[in-house]
Amino acid sequence: MSDLSFSSFCNWLKFRHLTLLDTLGRTRNMHLAAQQMNLSQPALSKMLKEIESLLGFAVFERLPRSMQPTPLGAQVLRYAHLALNDARTFVEQINNLSAGGHGHLKVGGIFAATAVALPEAIVQIKQRWPLLAIEVVEQTSDHLMEMLDDKKLDLAVARYTDENQQQVYDFQALAPEPFCMVVNSRHPLTELAETPLQELGKWPWILYPVGTPIRARMEQAFAQAGIATPKNTIDTISMQTFLQVLQSGPMIAMLPASMAQPHLETGLLKVLNTPLKLAPQDYGILTRRGEPLLGAASEFAEILLANAQVARN
């Protein structure tokens, strides 16, 4: 296999090549890919052979029922996917600007951020740029980082879940994310001045799903307190489900304080006084390392940082 030069790569690569690679990467099937691209199967097969000839290696291993990426092919598919996402964002921005808009901003946030920090910043940037189109995604930190990797977000307001991530993302801290243990106001545990640890396992819980960063921290908190992780659970990342189920039955939940606060103020929820604690962890602005924010994304980050500074003072 001869080395692939940058100049030759730029000379022959076309977006239809990237579309073919991305479509085949998703379908793993030549017939389905041809249907989705509105091409004949022979034409698609010919184009793939041209790509592999120019690259100097096979992108896919041809199996009887599917096409699996080769190790090098997986890298090619990753590039095709990212390049198409970049191009899609570019087209959206150009169409928005040419129609008199102010561009498009895609932001992700964890639940603590979408409760307060993001809404405040969105109101402020919309006052400056009324025609800015803003897309907001609420997810856990690990999913938001995956979306950053795929260039589906300009920035995320989240937290590190692993020390190694500091090598991949830039992080600007905004605020700690305190949690509180809550029940509805009718729960029998609200009658106790302090809830003993052994009482916590006797009631059903609403927890974040296994594998999410918050669930791992909660399981660690249970272990440090010397009690087992509850078995009678409902697992969800939906804040609406958390709040609705809490209101409907004698459940216990550990929620970000910012999410719980409005419901504590109205008396719908009560905080349990218990030795089980979840240590606060800073959340902040996460961006792809080495990629400075531009335009509206940069201004939005500045607003978030300024608001966080005011809140600290």
User: How many domains are there within the chain?
Assistant: 3
Q: Report the pLDDT value the prediction gives residue 215, as an integer from 0 to 100.
A: 87
CATH of the domain at 142: 3.40.190.10
Residues 307 and 160 in one domain: yes
Give the range of the structural domain holding residue 134, as residue numbers without chain letter: 101-176+282-312
Residues 146 and 227 in one domain: no
Residues 43 and 167 in one domain: no
The answer to whether residue 48 sits within a structural domain is yes
Contact status, residue 259 vs residue 112, Cβ threshold 8 Å: yes
Q: Beta strands of the chain (E only): which ranges?
A: 60-62, 67-69, 104-109, 133-138, 155-158, 169-177, 179-184, 205-207, 233-235, 252-256, 269-271, 281-288
Q: Report the pLDDT value the prediction gives residue 2, as an integer from 0 to 100.
A: 59
The answer to whether residue 79 sits within a structural domain is yes
- Closest of 103, 148, 147, 108 to residue 126, by C-alpha: 103
Residues 223 and 195 in one domain: yes
Residues 131 and 245 in one domain: no
DSSP 101: -
The answer to whether residue 251 sits within a structural domain is yes
Q: Which of 70, 91, 112 is the last residue of a domain?
A: 91
CATH of the domain at 69: 1.10.10.10
Contact status, residue 48 vs residue 38, Cβ threshold 8 Å: no
Residues 154 and 291 in one domain: yes
pLDDT tens string, the chain, 313 residues long: the values are 557 788 888 888 889 999 999 999 999 999 999 999 999 999 999 999 999 988 989 999 988 888 999 999 999 999 999 999 889 888 887 887 777 667 889 999 988 888 889 999 999 999 999 889 899 999 888 899 999 999 899 999 998 877 678 888 999 999 888 889 999 999 999 999 999 998 998 999 999 888 887 888 889 999 999 999 998 999 988 888 888 899 888 999 988 888 888 899 999 999 999 999 888 888 999 999 988 998 899 999 999 999 999 988 7
